[in-house]
Structure formats: C-alpha cells, structure tokens
Structure 1
Amino acid sequence: MAPRPPRIDRTAFGVSVALIVLVCAPLALAPQAGGALVVQAYESLTERFGLIYQWATLAVTVFLVWLAFSHHGKRRLGHEDSRPDFNIFSWMAMLFCAGIGAGLLYWSTIEWVTYLDKPPFELAPNSTEAVEWAATYGIFHWGISAWALYCFPAVAIAIPYYRQHAPVLRLSTGLHALIGRDGYDRPPARIVDVLFILALVGGTGTSLGLGTPMVAACISEVLGIEQTFGLQVTILLVCVTLFAASVYLGLERGIKPLSDGSILAAIALLAFILIVGPTNFLLRSGTNSIGLMLENFIRLNTWTDPVARTGFIEDMTVFYWAWWIAYGPFMGLFVTRISRGRTVRQLILGMLVLGTLGCALFYAVLGNYSMHLDLSGALPVRDIAAQAGTETAIAQSIGFLPLGPLVLAVFALVAIVFIATTYDSASYCLAASATRNLPEGTHPARWHRLFWAVAVGVLPVTLMFIGQEGGNDQLRVIQSATLVVSLPLLVVGALMAVSLMRSLREADRESET
C-alpha cells in the first residue's frame, strides 16, 4: 500500500499563523509600549533564568562529545548501506549557511567594540588584555558551545527519523521514544510543534533584524543615499523574494547551489581582506584568540560574574545561548533532512569542529581587520558606532579597503545571499512542521513553502519598526525577542534528552538480539 501524500496540518498551521498575528499586530500598533515591554521581559528573564541557559549549554556540549566517541557514533542515519545524499562540501555549505545567516557578518565585524569598551573579567577598558579578549570572546560565542546547541536537536531528531522510521519531520520527532508513532496528533506533540514554529519565526526575526540594516548601510554608503526604514524594508523584500524562489525550487535545485555559491563568495571576500589588509596582525591576533579561547574554554562556559554583576553575561552570553536555542530546532530539522547516509559521529564532529572553524575564520579576518583600523587610528570605528550606529561602522570599515565601493557591494551581496540561504532553509522546515505525513524522501507542498518564506519577513519588519519608530534600542529589542521565544524550548530540550537516551538504549537492545 502506497504511503499517503503529504498534506497540510490545518491545526498547526492555523494556530501558528494566528499567534504570529496576535504577537506582531499589538507591537506594530503600539511600538513604543511594545518595545519597552519586550525589553523589560528580557531583563527579567535573564536575571531569573540566565544561569539555566549556561548550565544547559555546558551539559549539551559534554554530552555530544561523549556521544560522538561512543559506540553510538558509528550508527548510520538510514540503512547501514545508505550513502550521503550530498558531497561533503555541499553538505557543510548548506549546514553552515543555514546556521549563520548575515548575523555572522554583522557580529564578526563589530562585536569587539562592546568587549573593548566594556571588557569581561573586570579588565581595564582599552588595555592589552581587553584587546586580546575582544578578539576572542566572539569566537567563543560562535564556537563549539554554540554549535552544540545546534547539533543536539539534529541528533535527537535524526536518530528516530532515520533509525526508528518516525512518520513526520517535526520538532516532536525528537520526542518519538516518549510519544510513540501514534502520539504526533495528540496535544503534547502539537504544542511542541507550534512552539517550534513560533521560536523559529522569532529567531529568524532576530537575524533578519540584524542583517537587513547592515545591508542597508552598505548600499547607502555605496550609492550615497540616506539610510531609511523604507530602504531597509525594500532590502528585506528583495531577500524574501530571493529565498522564496530558492525554497520553491527545493533542496537540490535551490538551497544547495545557493549555499555553494555563498560559501565560495565569502571565501573570496575573506581572502581579499586577508591579502590587502594588515595580514600579519590578522594572522597573529586570530591565532592568539583561538589559543586563548581553548585555554579558557571551561572558564568561559562557567563564568557567571557573581560579584561585580556588570551585566556582561546577561547582555551577551545569555543572549547568544538563547539565540542558538531558538534556532536549534530548525537546525535539527534541516540538518536531519540533508544528513541521510552519514554517521552520528560525522554529524556531530562536522557541526562542532567545522562549524566552529568556519566562524572563527570570519572573526579572525573581519573582526581583527576592523579592530586594527580603530587601534591604528586609520578609522575611528568605535566613534562611528557610537554616533552613527554599528551598521554604519561596519559599512565604513569595509569601504575603507582598496576598491572600497566594489568590496562593499560584494559584502552586501554576500550578506543578502547568506540571509537567503538561512531563510529558505527555515521556510522549508516551517512548512515541514505544519505538514502531516512527511516520510523520508518526501517534501512539503511548494505553495506551503512559499507561504512561510513570506511569513518569516513579518516579525523582522515589526522589530525594526518598534526599534526605530518607537524610539527603542533596536538591538536590545531584537535580543529581547530572541530570549522570550527561546525559553519554552529549554523544557522541550530536556524532554528530547530523555527521549534520545531511550532511543539509544533501544538501539543497544536491538543490536544485542
């Protein structure tokens, strides 16, 4: 008997859309009050739950390292004779682009400004130690711990989907050992899937809300036009159109070639900056930063700033862990979809090692380049960031390179493509989560994928609006939205851990018989 074709899950679809409208409409109608409310929620939640985010991140990292090198790491996702659907370059390109978006371009270029002026560990601002840590802390925030938060849902979903033949590809698939094959239409699984949709829309809103103003600043710098909210919305519409077309074409004809192209363009951009920029400083500072991060890895994961309470942990580390947690389920679903034929060990080490090295390369080149401009007096990057905004500081830093306008245009193009590759993947996963009966090898309907490609653009427009028109700090509003949507996923993650352990024990029993 042939399996039933995929069809829309009207309950998950309808409830998710209704909740998105209920969240966005009041914020847009009352931007000042809405922004203040979101920021207030952020401050309250980080104070109460920030430590839990740190504990969870460390626990997940340790667990995945153990799992990769245990006998479970040899298990193949799919039949034992299955081979990967994609070559290693395309697999890593799709995985990397889906996980970083334009946020990596934004933060790797400008994050050091925060740490140099307000360094961790009560260091003196602008001191030698502050400079070294300013070049290091971003690599930690985008490093092994971050990719562990991405990787855990991927493992928890991929094992039941490929090894236990779960009938659907949703976040609730990660609870397969707890709910069983007949539990996907029951309220607990439905609630989990709706939470995922809301968290992913919130997470994509964060990245689009950061990336779009940066692209607008680059275009404004190249064309000599004013950077306005209208320009940002126009750029967002271009991005939405691009990733809507890509997601319509599917994985093989859309997402894969777009990811391959964006990685090659990014490598060319980084190579150019490395060659024409302060090469010796970039190599020395990058090497020093990786060593400093590895030497202090445990301290960085467990530092809670218990005495001074400067707010550093809440403003940066907890925000990042919340961001990765909000994005983690999406990465779990997408990585599951592209990882058939790979072993559990390949999946874990590919994400933790190669993902970390890729992000470290961006920080070593872009971050150290813009920091060198400021330290050498060539361009007052920090002053520009304080007076005109971080997006303008990024644009002027890149524009300071030889062939500045051309490089700035390429930088903006890479950012747009990074945005597109992230959100076509997100749209695919949103459609999969609101689809019934999606067994291995099938895809959600094209119109359904297109709908979510458009829907993910609603929240970032709202966040940018309440940040600018409501007189709120746009970055803080974006950070706050991320934390709020990620909190329920901590509970879901704990349940997924229990389910995964049951699945692993079941696999052991099957191998013994």
Structure 2
Amino acid sequence: MTVKSRPAPGARSGPLSDSDPVVLVLTIGFILLFVGASIVDSGYVSDLIGAGFAWTATYLGSFFQVLLLLTFFIAIGTALSRAGAARIGGLDRPEIGRFRWLSMIMCTLLAGGGVFFAAGEPVYHFVVTPPAFDTEAGSAAAVAPAMAQSFTHWGFLAWAVLGSLTALVLTRAHYGQGKPLQPRTLLYPVFGEKVIQGRLGGVIDAFCVIAVVAGTVGPIGFLATQMSFGLHELFGVSDGYGTQLTVLVVLAGVYMTSAMTGLHKGIQLLSRFNVILALVIAGVIFVFGPTLFLANTYTQSMGEYVTSFFAMATMTAETAPAWWMKWWTVFFFAWFIGYTPLMAVFVARISRGRTVREMVLAVAVLAPIATTIWFTLLGGSGIYHQLAGTFDLTEALNNFRFDVATLTVAQALPGGTWMAAAILLLTTIFVATTGDSMSYSIAMVGAGHDEPNPWIRVFWGGAMALMAAILLYMGAGQIGVLQQFIVLTAIPVSLIILPSLWTGPKAAMAMAREQGLV
C-alpha cells in the first residue's frame, strides 16, 4: 500500500515552495479583491453578493437539502454494511487516541458557529415559530419545536456532509493509491489522473479554500465583536475597534501557534482542553440549572426532531417564507457544504487506523448528538428564562443580535458573571480550534501532503486574521457580507462533492476487499 505522507527530503526549499501556486494566487487574489472592492465601494459589494445569495437560496436551496439528506443516509448505510469494518490507512491501531480524536472532530466544526448560535437560535425559534410548525410563539408548546428546528440546522445532516462520504473517498485515494490529500482528489474516481495533475486541480482546490476562508473569517470577526461586547458588559472594558483588534491578535496568536506545532501537539492539546472546559460548563448548567426542565426539553425535542425530521429538512420557499429559508436552513446547509472538502481532508488526516464504521458514526451520529445536548443546555436554559420572564430577547433576536442573546443567557446561568466569562473563554477557544485546524488543512491542500511547512500554516492563519481585522475596521456589516459569500461558493463545491454519493461507498468497499473482509 502506497502512502504519500510527506515530500522527499530536500524536495522543497522553502515555505512558499510548499504551496500550489494556483491555489496561492487564486486564494490571495480573492482576499485582495474582496477587501479592495469593499474599501472602494462596500455598498456595491454588499448588494452584489446579497443578490447572488438570494438567487442561490431560491434556485439551489432544494438541491443543497437533497444533497445533505442523501449523504447522511448513504453514509449510515455504508457504515452499517460489511465495508464498515475496513480500517483506514492500513494501520492496525489508530494513530490518535479516541478522546483526542473525538475532541478534534467536535471542536473543528462546532466552533464554526455552533457555540455562537447555541444560546440564541433556540430562543429565536421559540419567539418566532418555525414554518414547519403552527404552535403559538412563546408558549410552552413552542419549546420542543424550537429546539428541534435548531437540531435540524446543526444535527445529523450538517455533520454527515462534513466528513463521511467525502472523507472515505480521500482516505482510499490517499492512503491506498498515493494521491494527494487535496479536494481535487474527490474527483479522481470520476476523472482519473488528469484532475490530479495540472491547473484544473489547482482551480478546484482554490474554490474549496476560498469557501473555507470565507466561512472561517466570519466566526473570527464575529468572535471579536462578541468578546468586545461581552468584556464591556461584564468588566467595563471599552467596546470598540481597539478591543476587537486586541481580541483578534490574541486569538490569532493562539491558533497560529497551535497550527504551527501540528496535529500531535497544539491542535490536540487545544481541542482536548476545550472539550474538558465544555464538559465542566455543561455539568454546572445541568446540575445547578433548571435540571428537570432541560432533561424534559431534550427528550421532547429529540422526539420532535425525529418525527418532524423530513418536514423540517425538506421545507422549501414554496411552503415557508423565502426570507426564513434564505437566512436559516439554506444558509446553514450551504455553509456546511462550503466547509466540506477541507473538513474531509482534516477528518481523513486524523482518522488513520480507525474503521470506516468508527469514522462515519463519530462524525454523523455521535458528534450531532453531542451538539444537540449542548444546544439544549444553552438554548434550553435561554428558553426557560424567556418563558419565566427573567429577560426578553425578542427584540435583540429579531435584529439578529446573537452576541446580546449569548451574553444575556450566559449571565442568567448558574454562576452569573463567572459563567458568562467562562462561556466567552470557551467560545474563544472553540473559534481558535477552527482557526488552527483550517490553517493546517489549507496548508495541506496547498502542499499536497500530510505535513505542510509550519510557516505556511502560520501564513494562512495570519491572512484570515488580517482579513477579519480590515473588514471589522470598515464595520461588522462587511463580515456579514463575507458570510453570505460562502453560500455562493457552495455552488461549485456542491458539484465537487456530489460524486461522493456513489464513490464514497465504492471506496469503503474497495478498502474492505483489499483487507479480505468481503
């Protein structure tokens, strides 16, 4: 079995030589073009991307939904088949321990927005009834539907598309056939060697990197605004660009250092610490918070999620308000699609030695269940206090002020100010874990092997932080515009991952045959 894990000694002379020039030029070109155009005429950029966002949501939303549905069910079927026993990468035992492995998977995606939305989104759906339901907003009957709608956006479908079938294609091609660990390799089973060599592969990789840059700069920028607001409310620190910039510098320093030290040091340690902190916070909320309400809410909400699964997942602009679909289901599903190729690269890299079944079930089942529990603890607590009249977040959430919602809910939790500070710290480290893993993944894509130059990892991390700093200087609205742009990048990326619906199961079966399991 051939494995292209690292370049030959002396094959590369410096950091820049360890990066595909097409990926480098197109991605840096996009960053410069977006920032430059925003400086020249931010209104025009906003209107142009907004129009593209609306068009994509209207005409391609259903395609994105079907793609996620098929990915989930085909992935689960593959995991439960005989091919599920095949081991990835030809190792008899996993390269990374189970807890650290699961921590890295959880932290990489959940930071992309899950922590940011966990408190506010369930409360939003509680005060604004989702279109799949007809319950009275703000009533006791609206609790389970509100949580179930949040589960739809951050549950099985979202996670499955990120690292199941696509990761199977990459693990087979990379570890079994010696192909590079790059998004272009997803199309190798369809187009063969011609997609691996040449500029076409570079263009495919660049599209995927641009999608991740757009999707990662957003949370980095929003974290800076959330931290600035939170520090002001909790400790009286000035809420302005200076504080936001300080937060960005500290955040970038953390995740660039983590990315530079690699998978087996910084990234693992940061992810493990973050999961332990999350477990401590979750335990405090459950034990000292409205325990019975949270337990009942989770049970009822999971039941609602399962029974209304297809109704929520297949809701379209024909049966729901177009604005709602655009800003909720389609936005999130497109965001996850945009992240998919590089998340698949990361999952494939850290899952060597795991079985197909372990990898798929961890990503598509265990991680979503953990996410729904987290949403119930934070969002469920928010609903409890909203229902009890402790606060009223209706106005803030109607204006999409999720920073206000998160801090308000956090201050109402056991521990008050200290819990709010702990959640701000947790959010910061969650975003840092996305920054380090995506910086590492982007560097892997450019290099085409498992151990990219450390300075290239630092470069990409710094580039994303710098982009966030410039856009924040222009106003937080430009960060939001960049977030909308990821919906546009989901168009080419969805076509890149589409073949994995059939090439993923084939890859798993091929590994199983090679190992004498079928």
Checking the alignment, whether the CA contact within 8 Å between 2:85 and 2:512 is kept in structure 1 is no
Q: 1:158 aligns with which of 132, 156, 171?
A: 171
The CA RMSD over aligned residues, in Å, is 2.5
Checking the alignment, whether the CA contact within 8 Å between 1:217 and 1:391 is kept in structure 2 is yes
Q: 2:123 aligns with which of 106, 113, 126?
A: 113
Q: 1:487 aligns with which of 484, 488, 491?
A: 491
* Alignment correspondent of 2:259: 247
* Alignment correspondent of 2:406: 394
* Alignment correspondent of 2:313: 301
Query: How far, CA to CA, are the matches of 1:77 and 1:402 in structure 2?
Result: 43
> 1:258 offset after TM fit, Å?
0.7
> 1:412 offset after TM fit, Å?
1.3
Checking the alignment, whether the CA contact within 8 Å between 2:468 and 2:479 is kept in structure 1 is no
Distance 1:55 1:329, change over 3 A: same
Cα distance per residue 1:293-314 (max 9 Å; x no partner): 0122222222225245353222
Would you say 1:48 and 2:52 are equivalent positions? no
Would you say 1:191 and 2:195 are equivalent positions? no
> 1:145 offset after TM fit, Å?
0.5
> 1:178 offset after TM fit, Å?
3.2
Q: 2:465 aligns with which of 457, 466, 478?
A: 457
SS of match in other structure, 1:37: helix
Q: 1:287 aligns with which of 287, 299, 307?
A: 299
SS of match in other structure, 1:323: helix
> 1:370 offset after TM fit, Å?
1.2
* Alignment correspondent of 2:419: 407
> 1:419 offset after TM fit, Å?
0.9
Checking the alignment, whether the CA contact within 8 Å between 2:341 and 2:497 is kept in structure 1 is no
Distance 1:26 1:149, change over 3 A: same
Distance 1:237 1:207, change over 3 A: same
Q: Which moved further from structure 2: 390-399 or 264-273?
A: 390-399
* Alignment correspondent of 2:113: 103
Query: How far, CA to CA, are the matches of 1:54 and 1:323 in structure 2?
Result: 12
> 1:462 offset after TM fit, Å?
5.0
Would you say 1:145 and 2:157 are equivalent positions? yes
> 1:358 offset after TM fit, Å?
1.2
Distance 1:56 1:137, change over 3 A: same
TM-score by length of structure 2 reads: 0.90
- The correspondence of residues 51-70 of structure 1 with structure 2, limited to 5 A, is 51-70=62-81
Distance 1:388 1:122, change over 3 A: closer
Point out where structure 2 has 5 or more consecutive residues left out of the alignment.
1-5, 13-17
Cα distance per residue 1:351-398 (max 9 Å; x no partner): 111111110111110001111111101122334545793212321221
SS of match in other structure, 1:30: helix
* Alignment correspondent of 2:388: 376
AA of the residue aligned to 2:25: G
Would you say 1:265 and 2:265 are equivalent positions? no
- The correspondence of residues 18-29 of structure 1 with structure 2, limited to 5 A, is 18-29=29-40
Q: 1:364 aligns with which of 364, 373, 376?
A: 376
Distance 1:432 1:198, change over 3 A: same
> 1:83 offset after TM fit, Å?
1.1
Would you say 1:447 and 2:452 are equivalent positions? no
Distance 1:170 1:310, change over 3 A: closer
Q: How many residues align?
A: 502
Q: Which moved further from structure 2: 401-410 or 278-287?
A: 401-410
Distance 1:160 1:280, change over 3 A: same
Would you say 1:351 and 2:355 are equivalent positions? no
Query: How far, CA to CA, are the matches of 1:102 and 1:59 in structure 2?
Result: 23
TM-score by length of structure 1 reads: 0.91
Query: How far, CA to CA, are the matches of 1:16 and 1:244 in structure 2?
Result: 19
> 1:189 offset after TM fit, Å?
1.3
Distance 1:500 1:285, change over 3 A: closer
Q: 1:130 aligns with which of 103, 126, 142?
A: 142
> 1:196 offset after TM fit, Å?
1.2
Point out where structure 1 has 5 or more consecutive residues left out of the alignment.
none
AA of the residue aligned to 1:22: L
Q: Which moved further from structure 2: 147-156 or 321-330?
A: 147-156
Distance 1:222 1:448, change over 3 A: same
Query: How far, CA to CA, are the matches of 2:237 and 2:297 in structure 1?
Result: 35
